[in-house]
Amino acid sequence: MSSVRHLRISIVLLVAIIAIGTFGYSFIEGWSVFDALYMTIITLSTVGFKAVHNMSSEGKLFTIFLIISGTGMIAYTLSSLLQFTLEGQLRKILGRKKLESRINKLNNHYIICGFGRIGHLICREFQARPLPFVVVEKDPQLIDRINREGYMYVDGDATDDETLQAAGIDVAKGLITAVTSDTDNVYITLTARGLNPKLFILARSGEEGSEKKLMRAGASKVISPYTIGANRMAQAILRPSVVDFIEIATASENLELQIEEIVISAGSVLTGKSLVNSGIRQSMGIIIVGIKQVDGHMIFNPPPDKVIEPNSILITLGEQLAITQLEKLAAGYQP
């Protein structure tokens, strides 16, 4: 039987014995309900106070019964309460240790600071990928929600060095600061950049003009959800078909058509081949929308004779199964 059920049963029995004692004194001695309840409580608690009224022999026998049964019931209730408390604390400690062990094993992961509306959506997209990540949050209500959804998290302030170190910032691939306060985002960016100079930091900007402050603080890229949302709403009116196409191609749950970026490894069979000779378009039906070269230069709608260089990134458009096949070839798997 679980400790919770033990506690529930003991409380019900304790309430029942108090009710029996109150009714018994009222019925046997003819006392008022309040006097009977008072006598029941001081009897069960064994405080040693004298009876509120003189008792008959029947009342004394009833008191003996109440002491024997009631004190045992109180002891059972206290033990159930103690068991429930200790098991809950132990479960919490063991769960936290297990979570810390999982976080310590992470490598090349992402740290998401803030589990508000933006942070929650990012976690959902990363989980669908799936992509390794850990959430940093200090709000107890949001932490309860993170627990329910099964995400790894660190309970603490993301502006503190110790909190980010507990999230594995030394071995992380990137950090996303998505809290509502621009001031906090600046502090988090400064802290993260100081702890890991090579870290990719994506910062959320809320107010106009905060982009420059975040970039000066060390952010690799700054995004304003309000600006993007406003542009998207405007484009939904001006270019509705284009917006519909983008929504279809970028939706993580869509299995028919997706836009994806694929990194070409040095050992890939695609390295050194031109686009027309690679068979990407002919065999897989994938369209190469653009190529991001090693120096960061982006080539849109590359020509067929463009040679695929190692460590370059292909911006592709195609079906999910074909994209997965191309990812394997780009990673170095032999066809």
Percentage of the chain lying above the pLDDT 70 cut:
90
| pLDDT at residue 25 tops 90 | no
- Higher pLDDT among residues 143 and 40, named by residue: 143
Average pLDDT, the chain: 85
Residue 48: is it exposed, middle or buried by C-beta count within 10 angstroms (0-12/13-18/19+)?
exposed
* pLDDT tens figures, 96-151: 778 888 889 999 999 999 999 999 999 998 998 789 999 999 998 999 899 889 89
Contact status, residue 218 vs residue 188, Cβ threshold 8 Å = no
User: What digits encode the pLDDT tens for the residues 69-92?
Assistant: 777 777 777 777 777 666 655 556
- Rounded (10°) angle between helices 33-45 and 57-104: 60
Q: What is the pLDDT of residue 240?
A: 86
pTM of the model: 0.61
CB 159 within 8 A of CB 166: no
CA 116, CA 124: separation in Å to the nearest integer? 12
Residues in Cβ contact with 313 at an 8 Å cutoff, skipping those fewer than 6 apart: 261, 262, 263, 264, 291, 292
* Res. 203: pLDDT tops 90: yes
Least confident of 57-66, 120-129, 264-273: 57-66
CATH code of the domain made up of 3-101: 1.10.287.70
- Mean pLDDT for the stretch of residues 245-251: 69
Going from N- to C-terminal start, the domains of the chain cover 3-101, 107-229, 240-331
Fold entry, domain 107-229: Rossmann fold (3.40.50)
User: Which strand (E) or helix (H) includes residue 235?
Assistant: helix 225-238
Q: Into which CATH architecture does domain 240-331 fall?
A: 2-Layer Sandwich (3.30)
